[in-house]
Chain A
């Protein structure tokens, strides 16, 4: 089955800096890679996703890149703001069932 590893587990940056979170996956046939943001006490919400036929996708300050050969994908947040502080989860779809397998999460802290 699919296995997703996420790094780092915690990340602290200064406001205005960039933040990068990386995930690796094991199932070479995975085709869907979403990223979720979970603010304290709230439910996870999708912030961006990418499919395997695309190498990069951007939405304002957020971008995701996918390297199918190396089986890793990354979340890039530019010009970070305090409201970006949250836990971020990556996920990959398991090819056999299309079930989403989540990474362990990254706690991002953006300091003013």
Chain B
């Protein structure tokens, strides 16, 4: 079946502009995660959605970052007033339930100029 998809695959934006990144999880997966990965670095947790529970936003680095998940499926990560340090690959992952294998999307490479 279809895996996790993300769009766009690449995004170049000017400093100060807002961007929206989209994640389509595997159908039926109740858990959805967003991570950020800078070049050569590890997986920085951003936000976690699980079913109808309130999202765990503890990893969001500033109030410029927000995310929502509509209808328990598609998620969008919004970065307002982008800064150069926001440049990274943003990865989305979904899993069928709590504490199960996460399937990662291909990521969105964000470059802020």
Contacts and interface: CB of A to CB of B under 8 A. Distances in A.
Interface of A: 31-32, 34, 43-46, 49, 89, 93, 97-105
Interface stretch (B12-20, B64-72, B73-81, B98-106): B98-106
A69 B56 CA distance: 29
A102 B50 CA distance: 18
Given A43-B104, A43-B107, A98 B99 contact: yes
B108 to A, nearest CB: 11
A31 B99 CA distance: 8
B43 A44 contact: yes
B43 A89 contact: yes
> What is the predominant secondary structure among interface residues of chain B facing chain A?
loop
Given A43-B104, A43-B106, A99-B48, A105 B98 contact: no
Nearest to A45: B104
A52 B18 CA distance: 43
A61 to B, nearest CB: 20
A100 to B, nearest CB: 6
